[in-house]
Amino acid sequence: MKNVSRLLPLLSGIVTLSGCNHAPQKNNGQNSQKPNIIYIFADDLGIGDLSCYGATKVSTPNIDRLAGQGVQFTNAYATSATSTPSRFGLLTGMYPWRQENTGIAPGNSELIIDTTCVTMADMLKDAGYATGAVGKWHLGLGPKGGTDFNNPITPNAQSIGFDYEFIIPATVDRVPCVFVENGHVVGLDPNDPITVSYDHKVGDWPTGEENPELVTLKPSQGHNNTIINGIPRIGWMTGGKSALWKDEDIADIITHKAKNFIASHQEEPFFLYMGTQDVHVPRIPHPRFAGKSGLGTRGDVILQLDWTIGEIMHTLDSLHIADNTILIFTSDNGPVIDDGYQDQAYELLNGHTPMGIYRGGKYSAYEAGTRVPFIVRWPARVKPNKQQALFSQIDVYASLASLLEQPLRKGAAPDSQEHLNVLLGKNNTNREYVVQQNLNNTLAIIKGQWKYIEPSDGPAIEHWTKMELGNDKQPQLYDLSSDPSEKTNVSKQYPDIVKELSELLESVKEK
């Protein structure tokens, strides 16, 4: 891919990286201004995938250092157990289940955040921030009816508060396999236009179903449409050959773009929203990491993710702006092991437990679906500590607005609550409740020691991944204080608690 080969020589960085973890802070105006904010979403990373959270079969030294220098949460939740709604909830401050089209978006989906919505990026622009979105997006692009990748794409991330975008439109296992920068497909030859469909085959490019002999990473389920780089994807595409990414280069490219954004805005307050591809499928580590974890490619891309975080931290150190930068690292939802490719993720776990002690995983209403790693570092203002308070990603929006004394515009962030002191580790007051959402939009609510999952007619097991979804026609109640693994449904023993939490959940829905 031509544009990738041009980018890779620059990966040593636009800035000189310091090998010292605690470089002295120069006064470049940063220490007297509002803090920079970097929010990094890992993809499908489990609370058991990091050594700072107890993993023993894989080592994540950079993320461990981040946790050791910041606030490490043990009781923090994504809003949803899948990617699109989780990201929607963070950026809008609104529960995604309040809007119909927030399920897992295809690669040619229209932008699902209305341009009249006041996003977290809009709020930070109001507060004087330069704003950028780099990496996985998965919130759609373009108008209703789908995305035209051959002309300037609008609306895009720049339409909802971001000054700059360099994004993967959806997921890496979905077409089109291209980057979009400020509304344009990177490296696209106008004489080779892109066509994308999620309904039927387009063009004559081989597919996994028709040409299995051309596949280098075989699907375990689902992924059998257009083959790109030997990998069959979800959806069909043709055209845009000069713009296609190489999977093993994706982490390097988006890390480079993130570092570039940071360096370009070091003299002013900036907000960087960064979505990594890792550890989502297809798991194609760069050769630097391939075979290094001993846990197969899923373990290798955890090492690659740790490298990415290290590069961001080293960039901040090198520019002497780490002290005045709030760096938040988390995951969009819980882990999944086999998510569509025969990558031996199960066979090579070697005792590694991505879900930790928790039940379920990605797609699920059980704890491993949304209880995620969450780390906040701000050396100038935050003392390192472990944070056990109940916290939801939905509250990041209002909490940052409070920190900056930035009034929210009318109607903005309707579900986001201000819990700034919890976010910064200054107190451990629990949120009154946390709402969870699974693949089927079944909701659960946690309050105190209790977790209630509403009755659902949805399937008990996700067909492809064999994941427990938490759907049951009967109400479920778990005492997380004594049963964090949700082994025993005690709804019949505590009908009053079921009634209380059911009514609370209904009141949240009706808000």
Confidence of residue 293 (pLDDT cuts 50, 70, 90): very high
Q: If you average pLDDT over residues 483-511, what whole number do you get?
A: 98
Paired residues of 377 in beta bridges: 327
Q: Is the pLDDT of residue 27 over 50?
A: no
- What is the CATH number that goes with domain 435-508? 3.30.1120.10
Residue 414: its pLDDT value, please? 98
**Burial degree of 503 (CB within 10 A; 0-12, 13-18, 19+):** exposed
Using one digit for the tens of pLDDT, what is the confidence trace for 443-491? 999 999 999 999 999 999 999 999 999 999 999 999 999 999 999 999 9
Show the tokens assigned to 211. 């040409």
Q: Is the pLDDT of residue 379 over 70?
A: yes
Q: Is the pLDDT of residue 16 over 50?
A: no
Please state, in angstroms and rounded to a whole number, the distance separating the CA atoms of residues 426 and 378: 12
- What is the CATH number that goes with domain 34-193+238-430? 3.40.720.10
Q: If you average pLDDT over residues 59-83, what whole number do you get?
A: 98
Q: If you average pLDDT over residues 83-109, what whole number do you get?
A: 97
Q: Is the pLDDT of residue 15 over 70?
A: no
**Burial degree of 183 (CB within 10 A; 0-12, 13-18, 19+):** middle
Residue 58: its pLDDT value, please? 98
Q: Is the pLDDT of residue 23 over 50?
A: no
Using one digit for the tens of pLDDT, what is the confidence trace for 396-431? 999 999 999 999 999 999 999 999 999 999 999 999
% of the chain surpassing 90 pLDDT: 93
Residue 12: its pLDDT value, please? 37
Confidence of residue 32 (pLDDT cuts 50, 70, 90): low
With vertex at residue 406, the alpha carbon angle to CA 402 and CA 411, rounded to the nearest 5 degrees, is: 95
Location of each CATH 3.30.1120.10 domain in the chain: 435-508
Using one digit for the tens of pLDDT, what is the confidence trace for 205-226? 999 999 999 999 999 999 999 9
- The residue among 108, 278, 245, 292 whose CA lies nearest residue 231 is 245
Instruction: Kindly tell me the number of DSSP H helices and DSSP E strands found in the chain.
Output: 9, 20
Using one digit for the tens of pLDDT, what is the confidence trace for 352-367? 999 999 999 999 999 9
Confidence of residue 123 (pLDDT cuts 50, 70, 90): very high
Please state, in angstroms and rounded to a whole number, the distance separating the CA atoms of residues 357 and 74: 12
Please state, in angstroms and rounded to a whole number, the distance separating the CA atoms of residues 237 and 195: 5
Q: If you average pLDDT over residues 46-64, what whole number do you get?
A: 98
Q: Is the pLDDT of residue 499 over 70?
A: yes
| Higher pLDDT among residues 164 and 26, named by residue | 164
Residue 14: its pLDDT value, please? 37
- The residue among 440, 442, 437, 448 whose CA lies nearest residue 415 is 437
Q: If you average pLDDT over residues 44-57, what whole number do you get?
A: 98
Q: What is the DSSP string of 14-82?
A: SSPPPS-TTPPPP-SSGGGSPPEEEEEEESS--TTSSGGGT-SSS--HHHHHHHHTSEEESSEE-SBSS
Q: Is the pLDDT of residue 315 over 60?
A: yes
Confidence of residue 9 (pLDDT cuts 50, 70, 90): very low
Confidence of residue 436 (pLDDT cuts 50, 70, 90): very high
Q: Is the pLDDT of residue 282 over 50?
A: yes
Using one digit for the tens of pLDDT, what is the confidence trace for 319-358? 999 999 999 999 999 999 999 999 999 999 999 999 999 9
Please state, in angstroms and rounded to a whole number, the distance separating the CA atoms of residues 89 and 87: 5
Please give the mean pLDDT across all residues of the chain.
94
Location of each CATH 3.40.720.10 domain in the chain: 34-193+238-430
Residue 25: its pLDDT value, please? 43
Are 94 and 375 a contacting pair, CB within 8 Å? Answer: no
